[in-house]
Structure 1
């Protein structure tokens, strides 16, 4: 019998959004608390620890299964955005375009690391390949995500400059990762030893950024145009996007002749999107905007959905493996 637990981080997100709704004054533009500064420092530390835990030796060893890697990264950074792009001609109003852009933001994000590896492990998939793809995805996303968004942000945001964006990413993300990689040989084992506490720190910073984003959005009434029907439609669209990519990834895995373990890894890693990178990139790409909460809404729904669905699939696959 399969037992399911509600993910504590998902519950924390719901509580934080509720707090932002009830007490927006602490996260809005007039807040006396320096949440932006704390968030920026926290982001840099998240990626410093990310680099510290990333083993260069394991990364090099993971390069061998190149067909699997190409499929995972292709699904993450090409298939997702292309599916969303197909719906752009249908967006006629400014509201529809803003919702669509939030989905493009979701589609252009890298894969999540921890849950991808955990789920692949539960389902008895190719764990080393999952570690490699989930880890390298975050580095690729630093370059690819702003490029996808830049195609459409230039239409509506005169102050969007890829040079400025990459400068911020270099300072807040890439430089800390590089420093962490350099210090891996000295402190890598310590980082792995305290990985649980580092994960709690990561989630705390993400919750802080989510609170700040939604408090600002609630203060500016950014969600006033979203009614119950719109929320249901957005949720259905998130569900459809996930399953479309999941099924297409499975189809391509079969065509490429992958064994069961590689197919599991392709489907689990190729369909995940990182809420950590989503909140970080949103803070850098859309500074001081009241619509950030709207931009983060699809990725937050996707994050909750992917944990629930993939947990169910992973448990079913694990049980089937044990029964055979």
Structure 2
């Protein structure tokens, strides 16, 4: 039986299970240090495989659509941080300061890659442009995200190191493996394409490892005593408001700028989403260990909301375009018969 469309997917259920497991049986002491070492290796492997998978040909094919890419990047790295700061007086009372720091961190993250492309395809948008925009966002986020975090995220959640130290850690742990994967793509790219299940396993497995380590440390520091149940409900409202505004602004702006319908769809899906796959490893590098759990909690919730909402939108728009194509084909066939 097919899974109902609005229910969490298997990976989201695994994330929830990991948080519960870490809450009941957190790792600590020397085991926690060893676990953090393992997660560092897993994150490096994740970005290495992403570098090996990324097709330069696909990026070049969509790179000429520069107006679209600028709008997507501005939405990702300017609109979201502005919304997070402007709405802070209104939304921050709904959550704890640590959770709102997580919201601001969420606002600095790059767009997703896989789901942005998938939803653009389902909705019959410009897929090559989506590949280019989402990939560029992910790569630029390695540099832009830590810079934005140093500017807008409250110091209580940050690691306390200098911005240059944070950038160096990002480069060493994320960019270097990514570049190594790109350089080795001619040799291993074919194997990666044939074994996508391996990449998916490393992708999801590394995130689950980081989430378990982060929540273990947070639980040991008293996370669930610091976050009341009402704040979790407030967090749901904050994430929903952010996503709704991002979708609305990208819809209006892309239409006002005269983009085609296919390009509008690409801008909406690439410009309104945030990457869990990039965000969790980045949080581990940027923030103090005890703060990572509270910081990634908003991202995990936003991730599920964006998947549910964007899946519904993509299916609706795709079905509407399919119906329009069928009507146009039927009208054309009727006209052809009439001319005979």
* TM surpasses 0.5: yes
> RMSD between aligned alpha carbons?
2.1
CA distance in 2, matches of 1:33, 1:96: 28
Tell me the residue number matched to 2:228.
227
Q: Is the 8 A contact 1:16 1:211 kept in 2?
A: yes
Q: Are 2:312 and 1:312 equivalent residues in the alignment?
A: yes
Give the count of matched residue pairs: 320
- Check whether the contact 1:17–1:210 (CA below 8 A) recurs between aligned residues: yes
Q: What is the deviation of 1:229?
A: 1.6
TM-score by length of 1: 0.93
Q: Name the structure 2 match of 1:104.
A: 104
Q: How far apart, in 2, do the equivalents of 1:65 and 1:75 lie?
A: 16
State the distance in 2 between where 1:88 and 1:6 align: 28
Matched, 1:323 2:323: yes
Within-5 A mapping of 1:266-277:
266-277=267-278
Q: Secondary structure at the match of 1:159?
A: coil
| Matches of 2:90 and 2:184, distance apart in 1 | 49
- Which structure: larger Rg? 2
Whole-angstrom distance in 2 between the partners of 1:92 and 1:40: 32
- How far the C-alpha of 1:242 sits from its partner, in A, is 0.3
Cα distance in 1 for partners of 2:62, 2:159 equals 41
Q: 1:84 — aligned with what?
A: 84
2:11 to 9, 12, 23: 9
Unaligned runs of at least 5 residues, structure 1: none
Give how far 1:57 is off: 2.5
The aligned counterpart of 1:265 is: 266
Q: CA deviation at 1:158?
A: 7.7
Cα distance in 2 for partners of 1:150, 1:287 equals: 13
Q: Which runs of 5+ in 2 are unaligned?
A: 325-340
Residue 20 of structure 2 corresponds to which residue in structure 1? 18
Whether the 8 Å CA contact 1:76–1:108 is kept in 2: the answer is yes
Q: Which residue of 2 aligns with 1:246?
A: 247
Deviates more, 1:228-237 or 1:144-153: 144-153
Q: Which residue of 2 aligns with 1:38?
A: 38
1:138-177 superposed matches below 5 A: 138-152=138-152, 155-156=155-156, 159-177=160-178
Report how far residue 291 of structure 1 moved.
2.2
Could you say which residue in structure 2 is the equivalent of 1:132? 132
1:189 corresponds to which residue? Answer: 190
